[in-house]
Structure formats: C-alpha cells, structure tokens
Structure 1
C-alpha cells in the first residue's frame, strides 16, 4: 500500500493502533452498544407518539429491522478492525526518482527507522476495518497515478536553499579566508587601482569583485604570497627565500596567492577554492552545477564559482573586510546608494518567503501525516457519536481522500514554483545578488498562497460534497423506515374512518 511520505508510513500504523485501542475501550466498557439502545428506544417511542399503538408496533418493528441492519453493516464494514496494516507493508515512492523504487517502512534510510520502532508504535502491526483499508489503497493509487502525470522538474527551491544557507564551519578555514583577503585580494586590488592596469574585455566586469578573480589569478596572484605559513603547503626553497635551509626549514611554506587558491603545491592538492566548495553539501552542489550548466550553457566550474561566491557573501560578517568586495569600483555616491540598497535588501530578505517556503515545503508532508494519524485515531468516536449511520462512511471517506490528495496539489504547486522561478527570474542562480526582490516576492506570495490556500479550498469543497452525499445516503436509509410508518398511519386512519361510519 502506498503512502505520501516517509513519516506517513509510521504514523499510519500508529493512528490505526490508537484506533484499535480506543475501539477496544468502547467495546469493553459497553459504550459501543449505546447507539443500539438509543435506536431501539427512538423507534419504539416515535411511532407510538405519532399514531395508534396497534399500527405503531408494526412500524417500530420495521424501523428497528432496517436501522439495526444498517448499523450492523456499518460496524462490520467500516468500524470493526479486521485487515492487518504494518509499516513493513507500507511503502513510499519518491516522485521523479530515477530508480523508481518504492521504499518500505523500516528500510527508508531515514532516522525514522530507528525512532519509530515496533515498540514505539505499540506493536508490529495494527488492524484496519475493511472499508478503510480499501479507501487507503485506492487513494494511494490515485495519488501515485496523478503525480506520475506531472512532468519532472529540478527542485530549484531546495537547490537555492541549500546553496544559500551553506556556511563555513571550519574556524581554520575562516582564518585562511581572512588571511587570503588581506595578503592577496586587497593587495591585488590596490595594485590594479594604483597602477591603472588594463582590464581585458573578455572578462566580465564582476570578475574583479570576488576572491577568485581570473584577472588576479593570471596576474598579481602569481607573485603575491601569503604573509605566514599555510598548513599543507610544502616548503619551497626557490620561493620561500626568507628561510635559510642551512639554519631552519619550516614545516609549511608560504604559497603564492595563485597556489593558495588552486591548491598547486598543497600536500593533498586542496586549495582555498576547493576547501570552500567542500563546505557546501556535496549532493546539493552537484545538482546545482548540473542543472545550471544544462540550462544556461555555463561550464560547471563557473557555476561552482557562483556557489562559492554565495558562500562568501553569506559569511561577510565573519570575514572582516569582505563585506565591501562588491564596491571597489564604485564612486562614493554609488557606494552610499549601494550600502542603502544592501541594507534594504537585507531587510527584505529577512522578511522574504524564500526560506519560509522551503520550510513550508519540508513541513507540508509532516503536517499531512499528523492530520491523517489524528483522523484514523479518533474515528471510533466519530462513528460512535453518529450512531453508526451509513452516510458518515461516505463523508469521512471523502475527508480522508481530500487530505491524502494534498500530495498531488503540492506536487502541482512545486512544479509551478520551479517553472515560475526559471521563467520570471532566469538568473535565479546568482544568489549572492540582491536584485529583483519584487519578482522574488511575487513568486513567493503566489506559491505560498498555493501551498496553504489550495489544500484548504480543496478539502473544504470536498467536505461540503461529502456532507451532501452523506446526507443523501442517510435520507435513503431514513426513507426505508418512513415507508412503513406512512403505510401504518394510513391504515390507522382508515380504521378510524370505518369505526366512525359504523357509529353513525
């Protein structure tokens, strides 16, 4: 049986385990039989109070037969647990997964496997009424078929969030970046400005605005060196001339800025650029490079540079001096305007839906699984208070279907989100830039509304439909009892008329 998320695998069993426990409580205390007592009393009292006792007895008997039959049918089909469900036979298939393999409970590879054990869930399996077992199977199949029809797109929101929220966790690497800025970048920029070095037209203007500038790597970085030894870079007597090998040979050397950045001369071949790239989640970075390279035609190394630029820009407060990298070639007035724009951009970014939408996407299947668990767990009281009316089965079935169908609605919203981002903001991958805030806000508000409003509207619409259908079923059941009632009342009236005529 298919479900919509990893968590739903386990919460489905737990919800039905709670259902079994609560239903057993109603059975053991005798409360489960109170609706039958109420039905007997109602069907005896109502006909007596509305017609002759002789006719009322036949009406009561007929109504009791019909109501008892329907109530027992509801009990057997939709209330009494019978079918076995276990997290071992529940599975989840990720949409657009190249393998297409369904992952069963206990083997998801998530921490859910060790948290939601059989002991934590109250047993190895739970029992489900026949009707609800069929409803879950049918709705799971409908969801899978509907999602299969939605074209697969790259999860831009997830890629953006992963790259945008990467941080430098290694304090030694932080120190190296600060040193590189002071010893290499600041020195190279000063040489460029003071000596009026010609800038090639083949390089974009923004190349100067970050530590790994190609212009500096092929120029000043070739001769400029680190002011202190850098761990991992071996001593080179032809380069590190400040040391007399006859007196002292240092453990590490002082690489040139180009070596320091690229890793040439490092014991493990790891330069500052690669060390920064390693701070980003490998899977997210690989997906980011492949997708952006395929859609824009940029080389993957250039796309990786964009990710590293984003990482550095998000760490500006930790890297002293780096916050002004983007304003070296600007006039003083432009600097002030840029600073004001950056402040406004930071404020707008703080209140932006961008991280909130990612969190909303991550929380959506959890919320759905919890809602379904509560529906399953509390269903015994629902049927008990409704006196096991058949129409309530249809009503609750539509509610369960509507909540499980949220998965399809979110898949549609996710597809629209990714395509809107690429259509309206094709340069979305330049995450270090704070332009097009209005466009970002528009997309965020639209998709945020879809993720919240669309499921609520859908569930509300189907709930109303379920209420109408359930009411119609109940009316049919009621009509079966009203027919003998009207016939009995008609017979009683004829008897009264005959007696009245005889007296006359």
Structure 2
C-alpha cells in the first residue's frame, strides 16, 4: 500500500522524505532494543501498583486489575498501530500550482510561495533510501494539505504585480554591445536633451506626470517634441543604420555601404535596430505574455523596459543606472548612483533597507516551515513512546502539524495583499504602471514596505496565537521557531543594505 502525498515545493519534498527516513530508522531502533514495548510494561506495573494501594475493601483485585489494564491497553494499541507502525510506502507527488477561479468563472493558477523548479515525477526515495509512513500521519498530511490548498484557492484571482516585477527584475541585458550602446545613448542623447531642456527654461511648465516621463532614456516627450531627440545625433557610426548622404556626408568614418549616424530618435525607436526593439528582445516572451494579460495599453511595454534598465529596480544585469540620471552628473558611475540614493529622504532609505530584509525573510519563511515539520516528524517516535502511546499527545502533534502546514495559506494571503496593494489603493493603470517601472514616490514605497512587514509577520502571528484558544501550547513553540529560524536571513538582508548605505555615503 502506497501513500502518494501532495507537496508544493521541492525543498518540502526533500525535508519530508529525510524526516520520514530518519523517523523509520529511529522507530526500528526502538523496536529492536525493546524500548517501544516499555510503555506496555509500565502500564501493567502502574495499574498493579494502584490496585495494591487501594486496600482489601475494593473487592476482587484480579478482576479490577484486568479491567483497568484492558481499557487502557485498547487505547494504547490503537495509538501504537495507527501512529507508530509504518504501514504505507511513502512517495510525494508534485503539485506545482493551486487552481483559482476568477469572477467570470475562468481559472487561474498560482504557484505557492517558495516554489522551486523541479520535475513532474513523483519522488519515492532519497539517496537510495525509501521510507514508510504510519496510516494516521499519512491522513494528517493529506487532510492538512487539502484544507490548506482549498484555503489558498479561495484567494481571488487578481493581477500579481509583485510577481511580475520580480520576473522583470530577473531579466538581464546579456548583449555586451547593447550595454555599451545604452551608455553611449545616455551620454550623447539623453544627457544632451536634458541639458537643452533645462537651458531653455521650460521646466517650470512641466507637471508631475511629464517630469516622471522625462526621467528615463525612452522619454516620450523627448522623442516626440521637435528640437530634442530628432535633432541630436549619435557620436559615432552605429551598426544597423546605413549611411545617408544628406545626413552623414560631412561626418567622419562613414560612407556608402557603411554604418551612418542616426538621430537619437531613430537610434532609440527604430523598429528593427533601435535600442528599444533590442531591449524588448532581451526580455523573455513569457514576461510579455504576463504584461499583456494585465495591461491593455501598449505603453506598458515601455514601463517594463524602463524597469529592466533602471537602477531603481535594482537587479537588471549590467548598467542598470542608465535609465535614470536626475539633474546631476551623467557619467553613470556606481558612485554617482549610490550617492543619489544616499541623498534621498531618511524614510526612503529606511524603506529600501527594510525591503532588502523583507525579501530575504520571505524566501526564508517557507524553508524554515519545512524544516520545523521535518523536526516534528523525526521527534514523533520518541514523543509517542515517552507519552505511553497517549491519544492526547497524538492529537496535540496532529494539531501542530496542521498548524505548521496551514502557515502556507497565511503567507499566500499576505503575498496577495502585498501584490495588490497598489491596485487596491489607487485602482488606476497609471499607478500600476508606475509601480511596474519602479517609479512610485518614496513615501508610497515606505508605506508599502511597512504594510508588507505587517502582513507577513502579524498574520501568521495571529494564527499561532489563536492556537492557544484551542487549548494547545504549540503556538508559542511555532512562533519562536519561525522567529529564530528567519532572524539570520533578515539580519543578512539588513546587513547588505547597511553595507550599500555605507558605500553610498563614502567619499561623498
């Protein structure tokens, strides 16, 4: 008989498999040494001793002793058989996503937090070792996972902006030539256009939305306004833009059949060889599918490209600082970028530092959860033997395992709230695309960071506190284990942010 149990994460699979392998080994040693039988011997001895203490006026001692031993023995044997004796061969079946249904009845799938990349085959061994599981714990696993998955599936389908931005942040510019061209475009085109704008004294009439548009290389205003990108040219011949006699005749290093000097507008917006088109091709097609499912406006593509090359997104490969320059130096050095960040408001810096720690914490939480479940599984043989195969102790362990598995729902709910905060607060495509481009203001960033802290830490905290209402003391142990297990990850993230802050202020 095989127990084919569902799991949502590869790390969870490994932790559970090794937990049950060790559990089986410990139970086997308890059986071989006879320690597993000690509770039965202790039962007989304790009941005999109690009958002896009651005196001669209690009637037939033999009948009384047998009745008491028989009553407790039935309960112990049932607990022993269902919670201790491995009966079913163990294997794990990956469930990569939990199905949800949107308002129109369509389905949408969401991967639970912490999901790793893995195959679709079942896993029934680790290091060549297989495991078996008692009937009761197999049932607990199945019911706990089922209830948790039902709860997760009840979370509404909604655009997951955070997941999309994480996908975009994972994209990188792999073409070295494209990176170099972006740097040249920034210096020769964007820098010159911005200086021309300020020298013309037109900045006083620019509203907030226009200023946001001006703050990146592909500014629509600079592209469409005469006298800016259309009248500024590349500083050298650019491959993919053929020689044009009317434009390039007096320029060096060019001629018929050779590359020419495109205008900045052509250099950026050309449909085949422009920087925008080449950056578009650097992003995986799956990301574009996600963007089109969330936004109907074609402007969303510009926001995606903006985020990928923006140093404020923080993870795109290469010269991420090219997209945004501000009003100061335009040389694009790391010191300049960090100095601009260090010059931001103290609240914004604190928010960025908290975000780093929060990102580390969110990645650590499911891993610590699975490690705690593994620890409970390993402890079960000792706990059951020492408790004398107590049904009450088995019930407490059952409730504890369910509580640990159900933490997944609270983190999924917290992730949904966090991912949809921008839409829930503003309910506008402009705000969502601003979030997508990492262009929201510092105050909003700080608020969102603190709300994120609250949802990921307070919601599970309430859950473990409510466990006490059911009369169990597991809540404190679970809360303590999660806190101590993730403290290091959060500290590491905060330390990294502090190092970045120190580097930003050094020498400036």
| Structure ranking higher on relative contact order (CA contacts 8 Å, 6+ apart) | 1
Shift of 1:463: 5.8
TM-score between both structures, scaled by the size of structure 2: 0.73
1:181 aligns with 2:186: yes
Counterpart among 76, 82, 106 of residue 77 in structure 1: 82
Indicate if the aligned counterparts of 1:79 and 1:380 stay in contact, CA closer than 8 A: yes
Question: Hey, what's the Cα distance between the residues in 1 that align with 2:67 and 2:406?
Answer: 41
Q: Mind listing any 5+ residue stretches in structure 1 that lack a counterpart? A: 104-108, 329-337, 470-504
> Aligned to 1:84, what secondary structure does the other structure show?
strand
1:172 aligns with 2:173: no
Shift of 1:28: 1.8
Cα distance, 1:244–1:416 mapped onto 2, change above 3 Å: closer
Q: Determine the structure 1 residue equivalent to 2:270.
A: 263
Q: How big is each residue's C-alpha offset from its partner over 1:236-265, in whole Å with a ceiling of 9 and x where there is no partner? A: 4454324799x976753332212210235x
Cα distance, 1:380–1:231 mapped onto 2, change above 3 Å: farther
Indicate if the aligned counterparts of 1:348 and 1:437 stay in contact, CA closer than 8 A: no
Moved more, 441-450 or 198-207: 198-207
Q: Determine the structure 2 residue equivalent to 1:306.
A: 303
Cα distance, 1:281–1:394 mapped onto 2, change above 3 Å: same
1:7 aligns with 2:11: yes
> Aligned to 2:410, what secondary structure does the other structure show?
helix
Q: Determine the structure 2 residue equivalent to 1:414.
A: 415
Q: Determine the structure 2 residue equivalent to 1:449.
A: 454
Q: Determine the structure 2 residue equivalent to 1:342.
A: 344
The structure number with the bigger radius of gyration is: 1
Indicate if the aligned counterparts of 1:178 and 1:320 stay in contact, CA closer than 8 A: no
Counterpart among 250, 253, 257 of residue 260 in structure 2: 253
TM-score between both structures, scaled by the size of structure 1: 0.73
Q: How big is each residue's C-alpha offset from its partner over 1:33-54, in whole Å with a ceiling of 9 and x where there is no partner? A: 1222222222222322342498
Indicate if the aligned counterparts of 2:347 and 2:446 stay in contact, CA closer than 8 A: no
Q: Determine the structure 2 residue equivalent to 1:398.
A: 399
- Structure 1 segment 208-219 matched on structure 2, within 5 A: 208-218=214-224, 219=226
Moved more, 211-220 or 319-328: 319-328
The count of corresponding residues between Structure 1 and Structure 2 is 441
Question: Hey, what's the Cα distance between the residues in 1 that align with 2:285 and 2:358?
Answer: 22
Shift of 1:346: 5.3
Question: Hey, what's the Cα distance between the residues in 2 that align with 1:225 and 1:78?
Answer: 77
- Structure 1 segment 250-329 matched on structure 2, within 5 A: 252-264=259-271, 269-280=272-283, 282-284=285-287, 286-288=289-291, 290-291=293-294, 293-294=295-296, 299-300=297-298, 302-314=299-311, 318=319, 324-325=325-326
- Structure 1 segment 116-127 matched on structure 2, within 5 A: 120-123=126-129, 125-127=130-132
Cα distance, 1:134–1:120 mapped onto 2, change above 3 Å: closer
Question: Hey, what's the Cα distance between the residues in 2 that align with 1:419 and 1:100?
Answer: 16
Q: Determine the structure 2 residue equivalent to 1:150.
A: 155
Question: Hey, what's the Cα distance between the residues in 2 that align with 1:194 and 1:158?
Answer: 41
Q: Determine the structure 2 residue equivalent to 1:387.
A: 388
Counterpart among 59, 71, 77 of residue 66 in structure 1: 71
Cα distance, 1:57–1:321 mapped onto 2, change above 3 Å: closer
Aligned-pair RMSD on alpha carbons? 4.1
